[in-house]
Amino acid sequence: MKTKYIPTAFFLLLSVLSYSQTVLIDNNGDTSVQITLQQMDRIYTELIQKDELIAQSILSTSKEVKLYEIVDSAKKDIRLLKTSVNSLSEDNTRLYEIAKDKDEKIIRNRKISVVSVCVAILAILLR
């Protein structure tokens, strides 16, 4: 009696583990493949996962492009700021030299004024 159930159990086990596909070809030459609901669910799940991976890839690529744009913008800003610093440094040096020349003129004019006042006082006293 046990020997009767062994082939039946074997075939049941094979039917659970096997995939069933039926290929139909109609008169027009079109082919349709029939699959089980479990196979369809697995395929659908894989397609959804693929779509999610593609969406994540697109987002990752757009983030990467934005980061490159930010870095490029920062480099441009740094170059602009360096140019501004160099320009201000040159202006500062030029203004320092102008102020130094004016100080020298003031000191020279003071000395001339002091000497002129002394000469005027001597001229008044010697008269």
pLDDT reported for residue 92: 94
pLDDT reported for residue 7: 74
pLDDT in tens, 4-60: 777 777 666 666 555 555 556 667 767 776 778 888 899 899 999 999 999 999 999
pLDDT reported for residue 85: 93
- 31-59: b or e for each residue (b if 16 or more CB lie within 10 Å)? eeeeeeeeeeeeeeeeeeeeeeeeeeeee
- Residue 115: pLDDT over 70: yes
pLDDT reported for residue 117: 92
Strand ranges for the chain from DSSP E: 22-25, 31-34
pLDDT in tens, 46-99: 999 999 999 999 999 999 999 999 999 999 999 999 999 999 999 999 999 999
Q: How confident is the model at residue 101 (pLDDT cuts 50, 70, 90)?
A: very high
